[in-house]
């Protein structure tokens, strides 16, 4: 991990841009973080295809909220996003999706697989590499949560990496069949958000996935409103969720 820049945000939050190989990322740490008082870590996912620069204001706001709870946060550029090379076949599969949706049809399982699985298969190992690198920093401890992003990526990552203790997921993105199978193996506590009126959401698929999760503790927050209409209290509920399952920073 090569740090490229550092600046101090409101509240003393430290924001550092880095490169992990050829993967850009940003790490935010609260002012109290130190080797003597390491803090838990939130992996902050983002929608597929939207670059880190474009998402920065929203990510930084989420990171500052997490820092106020005593957590560090990290985000990385998703495969195929920003200035990273496009995923193989991405242009064709998006054209196929636009054609199907334009015809008022539901995307087939094959189309969903072609759209989502290449992202999952590349993103999950990259998140694990990122986690390896960040956990080497003395101011970060091994209590890890995952928040947001593409739900199929988060599900696969949480299944294969036992370091993730809890996850806050954004429901609504397309779900491959294999993700439904993986969801049944997931047992960590889950906080799932579904925007009920988001035109980009497949509500039925989101509910099917929530039902499939094998976690004994799983909560679905379904809010009226579209993609940008998430109520402020939802973030507060998510913060309490992570505080409960990752704990206060150790001193």
Kindly give the residue spans of alpha helices, DSSP state H, lying in 135-188: 151-160, 177-183
Q: Residue 225: what pLDDT?
A: 60
What pTM did the predictor assign? 0.90
- What is the spatial distance between Cα 37 and Cα 11, in angstroms, rounded to a whole number? 18
Q: At 72, is the secondary structure helix, strand, or coil?
A: strand
- Dihedral, 222, 228, 233, 237 alpha carbons, nearest 10: 60
Q: At 132, is the secondary structure helix, strand, or coil?
A: helix
Sheet containing 23-29: which strands, arranged edge to edge?
2-8, 14-20, 23-29, 72-76, 39-45, 140-148, 164-170, 190-195, 218-223
| Position 245 pLDDT exceeds 70 | yes
Largest pairwise CA distance in the chain:
59
| Position 250 pLDDT exceeds 80 | no
pLDDT of 71-93, one tens digit each? 999 999 999 888 888 888 888 99
Q: Residue 251: what pLDDT?
A: 39
pLDDT of 157-204, one tens digit each? 999 999 999 999 988 778 899 999 999 999 999 999 887 766 666 778
224-246 mean pLDDT: 73
């Amino acid at each position: 991990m090569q740090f490229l820049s550092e600046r101090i945000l409101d509240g003393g939050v430290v924001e550092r841009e880095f490169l992990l190989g050829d993967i850009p990322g940003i790490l935010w740490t609260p002012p109290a973080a130190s080797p003597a008082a390491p803090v838990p870590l939130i992996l902050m996912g983002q929608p597929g295809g939207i670059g880190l620069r474009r998402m920065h204001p929203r990510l930084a706001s989420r990171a500052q909220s997490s820092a106020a709870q005593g957590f560090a946060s990290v985000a990385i550029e998703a495969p195929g996003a920003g200035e990273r090379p496009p995923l193989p076949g991405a242009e064709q599969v998006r054209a196929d999706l636009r054609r199907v949706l334009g015809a008022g049809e539901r995307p087939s399982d094959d189309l969903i697989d072609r759209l989502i699985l290449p992202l999952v298969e590349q993103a999950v190992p990259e998140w694990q590499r990122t986690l390896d690198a960040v956990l080497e920093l003395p101011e970060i401890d091994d209590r890890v949560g995952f928040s947001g992003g593409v739900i199929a990526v988060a599900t696969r990552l949480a299944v294969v990496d036992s370091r993730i203790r809890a996850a806050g997921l954004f429901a609504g993105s397309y779900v491959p069949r294999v993700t439904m199978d993986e969801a049944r193996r997931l047992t960590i506590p889950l906080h799932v958000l579904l925007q009920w009126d988001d035109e980009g959401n497949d509500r039925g698929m989101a509910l099917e996935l929530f039902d499939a999760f094998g976690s004994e503790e799983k909560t679905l927050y379904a809010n009226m409103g579209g993609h940008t209409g998430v109520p402020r209290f939802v973030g507060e509920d998510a913060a309490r969720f992570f505080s409960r399952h990752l704990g206060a920073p150790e001193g």
